[in-house]
Amino acid sequence: MSDSIAISNALASPRRMDSRRRFRQVVHRYPLGVAGAVLVVGVVLVALFAPVLSPYDPTATRFLPLDHPSAAHILGTDRTGRDVLSRTIWGSRTSLTIGAVSALLGTVCATVLGLVAGFFEGWPDYLIQRLSELLTMLPGLIFLFIWILVIGQGVATIIFALSFGGAFEGVRVIRGSVLSEKRKDYVDAARAMGAGNARLMFRHILPNVESLVVILATLRLPGVILAEATLSFLGIGVPPPLPSWGADLGGVARTYFQEQPYIVLAPGLALSLTVLGVSLFGDAIRDALDPRTRNTMM
Amino acid sequence: MAAYVIRRVVAFPPLLLAGAALVFLLLRVIPGDPVRGALGPDATAAQVSTLRHSLGWDQPLPIQFVHWLGDLARGDLGRSLVTGQPIGTQITSRLPVTLEILILAMMFSTALGVSFGLLSAIYRNQLVDHVIRVFSVASMSIPSFFALTLLIVLPARWWGYVPPLKYVPIWSSPGTNLQMFIPPVFILSLEMAAPLMRFTRSVCLDVLNQDYIRTARSKGLSERTVILRHMMKNCSVPIITILGLRMAALLGGTVILEQVMSLSGIGQFTYQSVISRDYGVVQVLTLYFGIVVMLSYLMVDLSYALLDPRIQYR
């Protein structure tokens, strides 16, 4: 736990005398994590300043199709005459928004369900457990297919399906931890002082499983970003003409690789670097938060 | 032991039944009428109701469900609403493709994941370890559809190489078949191997920190014996568990691989039936995926019981 304190100190107190030394410590201890953080911050900045950074409207089709890279179009244009650089820049917004919202919603649902199942046991536990068994019976991608069939293609569908799927993957972990927490003395003490169930669950037990919640969210994030891209690649994710790295890579894009390789390379590399950054950063956070995995996982 | 196996197997059908019912129900609450969709916009109301009646879709849902289960039990998987072909023959003709991908991918990803994970643990914090770990994060970050797309376009651009386009079964021409399957399956396996590698590494490090390893070393056993006899045996149980649990991810991977490489397997069939909103086919294929995943979980449980004598068969 001392590492996470070191990190939060290093981040929270920039004016302290030894902040520079602490920063160096963090960089030394988690070199890959810092590299990941740099990538993540970079992508977030690009997403935030997309309107300033991108030279053209990402959905405008008024340019010459399949134009080679030039001063006007640094990465050329795609087959419908849209600027590849602008689409790649705006794609970061789609990817990060859907990823962050789904990972967050999924983790919140998993936490609430896990708390309920572990705290009350009995029939709510039985119900939640059987449901999670049922829902993890199918490969994730097939499950997403079914949701898209049932509620139709769209951004809301992707967010719903990804959050829902994530919720039931995390329930077991939270539940197990809640089961062991609630037998501890501090819970009895709080109960003796008159705390109700809701207060016990959210004010007393939740803070003690908090690091687990953060770990779940960091584990989930690269997965949901990849899942959105995969669905969009298959043509059933983000609907056109919204810029999405997966969608831009999909369909017939690859048949134009000979003439204009950047149609494939730009969104593919942007996606890979984003996932790489998020994974490396998440690994470092997990390492710092979870004493059991320290130095054993990456 | 026998009682444990029977208990596990008996628990199997109810879960499967519940899964089938859930999928059946979900696919029936879909907005829009699949029958009208299949007949096209020009169909008259009479045509729609005739087809609906002949499919039995005008009956109450529970009765439809029982009929469907009855048909399945008799080996009749139904017909595609879109192409009108029997689903069973489609599945049998496509199964060899998917099975080959699954078997090859299981082999590659296990070999890569376990061996690199072991190396990484044995040479912990040395150069080998760092190289392997960076490689594994990188291969997890590059989405398989991007890597597979590059596999198609880059050799074509650099060397003008085009892989064999027409599927040939492995029994009629093993050379052409493997030339077609090995490169894409290897790419898919890299992505699948990365989590396995990390898991193997952390399990092995856990074992290496145990007292009995220290004892084995201090009684003068060679490092080779310690690793082969003391570490590997104790690592094998959790690793086998995770192998079975990776099956679901691997099945998802076959869908992407078959779609990108235009291989007509079960994965591509699933994708196409989702695109064409062919509910009958989706229903059967979902059940198929559920069965495969649950069988692999069952096998994990059973191999667990076989490998680790400490586990009680309750």
pTM over 0.80: yes
Q: Do A141 and B277 touch (CB under 8 A)?
A: no
Q: What is the C-alpha to C-alpha distance for residues A230 and A224, in angstroms, rounded to an integer?
A: 10
B69 and B99 fall within a common domain: no
Q: Could you tell me if B154 and B51 lie in one domain?
A: no
Whether A169 and A110 have beta carbons less than 8 Å apart is answered as yes
Same domain, B174 and B31: no
Interface touch A32/B137, C-beta < 8 Å = yes
| Residue B313 within a domain | no
Closest CA to B261 of B145, B122, B159: B145
The verdict on B65 and B141 lying in the same domain is no
The three-class DSSP label of residue B42 is: coil
**In 3D, which of B190, B86, B79 has the Cα closest to residue B132?**
B190
The pLDDT value recorded for residue B213 is 85
Distance from CA of A177 to the nearest CA of B (A): 20
Q: Quick check: is B113 in a domain?
A: yes
Q: At what angle do helices A140-151 and B247-260 cross, to 10 degrees?
A: 70
Structural domain includes residue B269: yes
Whole-complex ipTM = 0.84
Q: Identify whether the C-beta of residue A283 lies closer than 8 Å to the C-beta of residue A297.
A: yes
A149/B27 CB distance under 8 A: yes
Kindly state the tokens that stand for A216: 């779940």
Token pair in block for residue A55: 């030279």
- Is residue B211 situated within a structural domain? yes
Backbone Cα Rg of chain A: 22
User: Quick check: A271 and B143 CB within 8 A?
Assistant: yes
Please say if the pLDDT value at position B225 is more than 70: yes
CA distance A252 to chain B (A): 11
Helix, strand, coil in percent for chain B, rounding step 5: 75, 0, 20
Range of the domain at B256: 95-307
- Asked if residue B286 is part of any domain, the answer here is yes
Return the CATH number at B297. Answer: 1.10.3720.10
User: Are the CB atoms for A222 and A281 separated by under 8 Å?
Assistant: no
Task: Tell me: do B58 and B191 sit in the same domain.
Answer: no
Q: What is the dihedral of CA B39, B42, B48, B50, to 10 degrees?
A: -90
Question: Between A146, A230, A254, which is nearest B26 by CB?
Answer: A146
Beta bridge partners of A83: A77
Query: Could you say which of A138, A229, A254 has the minimum Cβ distance to residue B149?
Result: A254
3-state SS, residue A138: coil
CA pair distance A180, A182, nearest whole angstrom: 6
- Tell whether B124 and B239 lie within a shared domain: yes
| DSSP secondary structure, B117-149, as one string | HHHHHHTTTSHHHHHHHHHHHHHHHS-HHHHHH
B172 and B111 fall within a common domain = yes
Strand intervals (E) in A142-227: none
Contact A137 B138 (CB under 8 A): no
Q: What string of pLDDT tens digits covers the 298 residues of chain A?
A: 445 555 555 555 545 557 778 778 877 888 888 889 999 999 999 999 988 888 888 887 777 777 788 877 888 888 887 888 999 999 999 999 999 999 999 999 999 999 999 888 888 888 888 888 777 778 888 888 888 888 888 888 899 988 887 677 788 888 888 988 888 889 889 988 988 888 888 888 988 888 888 888 888 899 899 999 999 999 888 888 888 999 888 888 888 888 888 888 999 999 999 999 999 898 888 878 765 554 433 3
Q: How far is residue B240's CA from residue B260's CA, in Å, rounded to a whole number?
A: 30
Establish if B27 belongs to a structural domain: yes
In chain B, which residue's Cα lies nearest the Cα of A231? B256
Kindly identify which residue of chain A lies nearest to residue B19, measuring between CA atoms.
A134
B94 half-sphere exposure, CB direction, 13 A CA radius: 19
Q: Domain total for chain B? A: 2
Local structure of A83: helix, strand or coil = strand
**Contacts (Cβ under 8 Å, ≥6 apart) of B146:** A249, A268, A271, A272
Note whether B46 and B104 are same-domain residues: no
Q: Classify residue B83: in a domain, yes or no.
A: no
Helices (H) and strands (E) in chain B, counts: 15, 0
